[in-house]
Amino acid sequence: MTPSTISRHMVAWAQAAPMALVFLAFFLVPLALVVMVSFWDYNDYAMIPTFSGRGYTESFEGCLTRLPEACTMLKTYGQTLKFCAMVWAITLVVGFTVAYFLAFHVKSVTWQIALSLVCTIPFWTSNVIRMIAWIPLLGRNGLINKTLVGLHIVDKPIEWLLYSQFSVVLALVHLFTFFMVIPIFNSMIRIDKSLIEAAYDAGASGWQTLWTVIVPLCKPGIVIGSIFVVTIVMGDFVTIGVMGGQQIASAGKVVETHLNALQFPVAAANAVILLGVTLMIIAAMSKLVDVRKEL
């Protein structure tokens, strides 16, 4: 290697070193500690720093000897995946629609930027505040039930509007749709408008143009938005706990419960399992498109 090449490599390493150190200190090291603690033993009072797989075996205790339906942990992960799939599907439809409107129906770049900033307004407040704002609307004596009863649409308040799977999905969609809008919008504004005009000139209908031109070119944005939404929903426990009335289980809720009980090894084991499941989902999504080109 020539001196100039060595110099360029040294500059590149020097530029990458600060971020690499931050990544090492605040991600890799804590993750390694969590994995290490997940293999420790424990009792009712303390952690015991000896190698043990008890945290993993107790999490899925009985799953191998009983029917899968009787395994509480598998049912919990199944419910978490169901929430994740429902929220993903709804945020994808809503996010794609909003992004499509901004990219193709708003002609002015100024208005595109302005409306994109409007989408960020809910993020000016805490997630918790935006979440609990649904309670006065969805409650038994909330605005929606009072309106429905007052208009004689229903005879009595609807119970399942709050503290149910419906309210959990509604709150999660409200909180995280923005994470789907921006990546898709970023992909859409890069589409060459002449391709769409060519599709119309070739006789393609609006739906044909959408499915054969726009959606394939937006695939990177869809995948990135999906990764954001899936990652957040898989680990969420606050929204599910509050909007589910502390009656709905989730993988993140299991970790929180063990942490509150000071059972750190089993909490760490469940966190590692949750991370593994989430990484498998992300890996499957990443196979659909080269995300690095979009970034």
Task: Please report the pLDDT score of residue 232 as a whole number.
Answer: 92
- Determine if the pTM surpasses 0.75: yes
Q: Which two tokens stand for residue 97?
A: 């629609």
Task: Please report the pLDDT score of residue 184 as a whole number.
Answer: 92
Residues 190, 218: Cα–Cα separation, whole Å: 9
Kindly list the domain boundaries of the chain, sorted by start residue. 73-294
**Exposed, middle or buried by CB within 10 Å (0-12, 13-18, 19+), for 10?**
exposed
Task: Please report the pLDDT score of residue 202 as a whole number.
Answer: 82
Task: Please report the pLDDT score of residue 141 as a whole number.
Answer: 86
163: left (phi over 0), alpha (psi -120 to 50) or beta: left
Domain range 73-294, CATH architecture: Orthogonal Bundle (1.10)
pLDDT in tens, the chain (295 residues): 566 666 777 777 888 888 889 988 988 999 999 999 999 988 877 788 888 888 888 777 666 565 555 577 888 888 999 999 999 999 999 999 999 998 888 878 888 888 888 888 877 788 888 888 898 899 888 889 899 888 888 888 888 888 989 999 999 999 999 899 989 998 888 888 888 888 888 888 878 888 888 888 898 899 999 999 999 999 888 899 889 888 888 888 888 888 888 888 999 999 999 999 999 998 888 887 766 665 5
Task: Please report the pLDDT score of residue 67 as a whole number.
Answer: 56
Residues 138, 245: Cα–Cα separation, whole Å: 13
